[in-house]
Amino acid sequence: MADEKNALVSAGRPMEDDHIDLTRGTDLIHVDGDQTVRDSLVPDLHFSPAHAKRDIEVMRSCIFSHMSEGLSKRIIEDIEKVLAIYNRKVLTHEDFLVKAYKLMVTNFEVVEDEKSKEIHHLKKKNSSLRKFYKASEARVKERGEEIDNLRSALARAQHYAVENYKAS
């Protein structure tokens, strides 16, 4: 970890724990508790009074551009980290939704197949019950006719019996 920080320091990249010491014109960088010195991006502070205002502005712009560059890089890195975490969460949720959708479709297909088989079975049963009902109706009609024939035969037989008795 210390080697990585030293490599970044030597590359001129600002670190979270960069400190600027304006009294020496060098940046003091604290790496794992050790203090190392590198050449400053800030101009030397030994300047003439005539150029003081211009040099202060140059120095401020260098310091603030250096600091804002470091801050912006850190902010960008933080945003990238947050976006990576967010993207992982979004992908996880998308995967969950896709799996849930596939499971729902599979379950729907299974239920649909079961219901279609049940409907087919019920249609067959309904058809056979209609045939049985029609056959039963035909038998009832035949039996009704037989009963009517037997009643009329019984009435005639009674009438013949009375006539035969009178004739005898």
Query: Which SS3 state, helix, strand or coil, does residue 110 take?
Result: helix
| DSSP for residue 49 | G
Q: Is 74 inside any structural domain?
A: yes
- Residue 153, domain member (yes or no): no
| Residue 104, both tokens | 């729902």
72 is a domain residue: yes
The tokens describing 93, both together, are 């949720």
**Total domain count for the chain?**
1
pTM: 0.36
Task: Find residue 34's DSSP bridge partners.
Answer: 31
The conformation of residue 11, written as its DSSP 8-state character, comes to T
Per-residue pLDDT of the chain (168 residues; tens, 9 = 90+): 444 444 444 444 444 444 444 444 444 444 444 444 444 444 444 445 555 556 666 666 666 666 667 777 787 788 888 888 888 888 898 999 999 999 999 999 999 999 999 999 999 999 999 999 999 999 999 999 999 999 998 888 888 888 888 887
Query: Residue 62 domain-assigned?
Result: yes
> CA-CA distance, 70 to 63, in Å (whole number)?
10
| Dihedral (CA of 82, 85, 88, 92) sign | negative
Domain, as residue range, for 34: 2-85
